[in-house]
Amino acid sequence: MIELPPPVLEYLLAATFARRSLAYVLADSEGRLTDWGGDLAAYGVMNPEKGQSIGELMVPLEGMLPPGQPMPALLLPLVEMCPGKFADIHLFPAEDGYYVLILDKTPEVVQQQRYQQRGNELSLLREKHAKILSQYLGEEIAESLAQGIFTVKEGGERREVTVLFVDIRAFTPFSEGNAPEVIFGTLNLYLPAMIQPILDEKGLVDKIMGDAVMALFGVIPIEKPSPVHATAAALQMIEAVSTINRARAQESYPTLDIGVGIATGPVALGILGTKARRTFSAIGHHVNLAARLEDTAQPREILIDENTFAKIGPLQHLFARRDAALKGIGEPVTTYSCQVRGWTNPCSPKS
């Protein structure tokens, strides 16, 4: 054994056992108490008596020390001696019996419990955030964010994406003529019909602005060209809104329709805002172009630009060329229109 100077031993004892409620008992080979010392009361051991069974004195040791048999050195870690009080119990042989040394470990257990609680809270927080992301971005995009598949440089970067704008036609006069509960009830009915197709087609809901929604396609990896996903989402939106309108018409409730604008091209993607509130955003000509196309679109019309039309392959036959003068854009723009008539959506990819 290493021989240490008394000052070193005193320091180690103080550093190891300070505020640790050290206690010990000495038992004979039959497991009967012969001596004791330290802060036994801290562990719920009150009024010990010579000759008392060690198992009776300390319930955790009941049955562990067979009387009359040699006792090897043994460590019982983190034993709950009494409610809320934990200790390491060291047993080691004495001249005619054995010592039971009790060393308080409650601070470590409390700290571990705090870490566990914090871990549980973080886990619940991550789960809550995942649910929020899944609700607003779609499960696949939320998973892409968590796995780092979808990343955008904070300083900004340029990518080619497809931008989609959709809003409810004539919603302003509708909102001016109805009570707030009617307005928000109607919005909560129609918005899911506009948002869910975006999520189904692996799009990113960029903004919800009252009765309007902006979405981006091609920000995360997708199987088909982004214009195909965006156009398919627009077709699904019109079908979903038509289903809502059929049900509302049967109940004699007012019905509303949507218009959709889609443009494809390079945009600047990045993170905008302050430390308190930051948001992902897209900026550029094609964002403005998609907004102008949506503003020009008639009820139940999907209006797309040339770039989008060139890349939608088998869906091209659903669109007809239409040169449109767009607000804020000087020259006429070549656009392509899919105009839905009546309740049945002829633009469905299934038709």
The string of pLDDT tens digits covering residues 112-142 is: 888 788 777 766 655 665 555 455 455 555 5
**3-state secondary structure (DSSP) of residue 30:** coil
Q: Of 37, 70, 104, which one is at a domain's C-terminal end? A: 104
Instruction: Indicate if 62 and 189 belong to the same structural domain.
Output: no
Task: Please tell me the predicted confidence (pLDDT) of residue 349.
Answer: 42
Instruction: Indicate if 87 and 156 belong to the same structural domain.
Output: no
Instruction: Indicate if 158 and 300 belong to the same structural domain.
Output: yes
Task: Please tell me the predicted confidence (pLDDT) of residue 94.
Answer: 80
CA dihedral 48, 51, 52, 55 (to 10 degrees): 120
Instruction: Indicate if 98 and 158 belong to the same structural domain.
Output: no
Task: Please tell me the predicted confidence (pLDDT) of residue 249.
Answer: 87
Mean pLDDT by 10 residues, the chain (351 residues): 77 71 83 84 84 80 65 79 83 82 83 79 61 52 57 72 93 86 88 90 86 89 89 93 89 88 90 63 88 91 93 91 78 84 46 37
Query: CA triplet 282, 284, 286: central angle to 5 degrees?
Result: 100
- Establish if 199 belongs to a structural domain: yes
User: For the packed helices 226-250 and 180-200, what is the interaxial angle rounded to 10 degrees?
Assistant: 140
- Establish if 138 belongs to a structural domain: no
Supply the CATH number for residue 81's domain. Answer: 3.30.450
Domain that holds residue 29: 6-104
Task: Please tell me the predicted confidence (pLDDT) of residue 228.
Answer: 95
Task: Please tell me the predicted confidence (pLDDT) of residue 69.
Answer: 65
Instruction: Indicate if 189 and 313 belong to the same structural domain.
Output: yes
Instruction: Indicate if 164 and 304 belong to the same structural domain.
Output: yes
Instruction: Indicate if 57 and 158 belong to the same structural domain.
Output: no
Instruction: Indicate if 47 and 173 belong to the same structural domain.
Output: no
* Residue burial 37-46, b: 16+ Cβ < 10 Å; e: rest: ebebebbebe
Supply the CATH number for residue 330's domain. Answer: 3.30.70.1230
Task: Please tell me the predicted confidence (pLDDT) of residue 346.
Answer: 42
The domain total for the chain is: 2
The string of pLDDT tens digits covering residues 163-173 is: 999 999 888 88
Task: Please tell me the predicted confidence (pLDDT) of residue 241.
Answer: 92
